[in-house]
Amino acid sequence: MTNKDTKYTEEDLRSMSNEELAELGTELDDVTVAYRKERFPLDNDPEEKRASFSVGVWLTIGILAGLAFLGVYLFWPWQYQMKGDENFWYHTLYTPLLGVTAGLSVLSLGFAIIQYVKRIIPEEISVQRRHDGPSDEVDRRTLTALLNDSWKTSTLGRRKTLQGLLGGAGVLAGLVVIAPLGGAIKNPWKVRHELDYSGDGTLWTSGWTMHDKGVKLYLARDTGTIAEEHSDSVGSGYTTQGVTRLVRVRPEDLAAGGMETVFPLAEDHVNDGDRYDPQADVYEEHMHSIHGNRNAVMLIRLRHQDAEKAIERQGQEDFHHGDYYAFSKICTHIGCPTSLYEQQTNRILCPCHQSQFDALQYGKPVFGPAARALPQLPITVDDEGFLVAQGNFIEPVGPAFWERES
């Protein structure tokens, strides 16, 4: 018989059984068991088998859903497909299938645990009085005993099948959460493909890097034009033929104090003005340019009186064209689009964490967490009067990373 007022020695504690320690722990914690009822007082109760079966079913569903998630994640065709492409429906099912299988895996595990607690573990209502102060040795030992006792009370120790299923479902639910992180692990030094509008796969290249390979790059604005739907005897579909998404920009397209987001447009993919060809299909290339991670550039036309006060960074003195300045739109803090240009103060604001950059001082950060200037793109105007890049960025675009020098 245990008593909470007795002073127990190390010897006493060692000689006590787990049940006695658990009972003592309950007393010491001022816990009163108000009600307790075994779920299955008799052996071989058919209800126990049914409860156990039901928990097993949920755990099995959880395991199957976890396996299905991993299967979809690893093997389902996920690459982007246009409407009308052969694998379009497979592609559209990818995300819903991931959601359904991941949700089912975690939910099933949850249902199994609820079922177990509600149908197998003895019903009990306990009331505890709260008290202050740190726990002494007796409390710690008895708490351990209580936890051991809970394991015994749960009867999970003798339910080997459920143990296995619970372990399997738990591991798979964990994998469902962890596996997608694998997709985020990439070697930033690895050249993954030929240089194009998305760079070559390394962190320091972008569509503008194509200039280094002798490609003439225009500064082009996104018109937002989309593929056109058409119907014929075979059915309906979309065509991008003759659809121009990016058009070249001239200096006079921008009012003083204005800002325009522009993207690189290679000479071969121009399809506007007097070079418009209704048969040309350059929509895909235009979309690649717009989607290139580090391509977006803010073309700013300073008011002339402000431009006269502009301070150029050493080595970038000829990067602007008159009153026109082009800065990377990718914030040097953690990469949000710094879209807000305020012409009265000539500040560029990043809405994510309120970094501010001074357009009159080569995009230098003047407020907020960003620590580096926005990279400036060297620009000029070609013989036809269009704004073009006169070089690539001279530093990597976007947030700081371990290899950059500026």
> What distance in Å separates the CA atoms of residue 292 and residue 401, rounded to the nearest whole number?
19
Which CB atom, from 310 or from 352, has the smaller least distance to ligand FES? 352
Site for ligand FES in 274-333 (CB under 6 A): 331, 333
The nearest distance, CB 74 to ligand FES, in angstroms, is 33
Which CB atom, from 219 or from 370, has the smaller least distance to ligand FES? 370
**In sequence order, which ranges of 203-332 are alpha helices (DSSP H)?**
283-291, 304-307
3-state secondary structure of 358: strand
327 forms beta bridges with: 298, 376
Using rule CB under 6 A, residue 31 touches ligand FES? no
Which CB atom, from 23 or from 358, has the smaller least distance to ligand FES? 358
Using rule CB under 6 A, residue 353 touches ligand FES? yes
Q: For the window 356-375, what string marks contact with ligand FES as x by the rule CB under 6 A?
A: ------------xxx-----
Which of 113, 156, 175, 336 binds ligand FES (CB under 6 A)? It is 336
297 forms beta bridges with: 262, 328
- Count of CB atoms situated within 10 Å of the CB of 57: 15
> What distance in Å separates the CA atoms of residue 229 and residue 308, rounded to the nearest whole number?
49
3-state secondary structure of 145: helix
Parallel/antiparallel/unpaired status of strands 246-248 and 217-222 = antiparallel
User: Which candidate, 98, 108, 99, places its Cα nearest to that of 75?
Assistant: 98
> What distance in Å separates the CA atoms of residue 175 and residue 101, rounded to the nearest whole number?
12
Interhelix angle 46-75/88-119, rounded to 10 degrees, is 150
Which CB atom, from 288 or from 364, has the smaller least distance to ligand FES? 364
Which of 352, 360, 381, 400 binds ligand FES (CB under 6 A)? It is 352
Count of residues that interact with ligand FES, criterion CB under 6 A: 12
Which CB atom, from 333 or from 372, has the smaller least distance to ligand FES? 333
Identify each DSSP E strand in 2-92 by its residue range: 31-37
The nearest distance, CB 367 to ligand FES, in angstroms, is 10
Which of 70, 100, 113, 334 binds ligand FES (CB under 6 A)? It is 334
The nearest distance, CB 335 to ligand FES, in angstroms, is 6
The nearest distance, CB 344 to ligand FES, in angstroms, is 21
Q: Which residues bind ligand FES (CB under 6 A)?
A: 331, 333-336, 350, 352-353, 355, 368-370
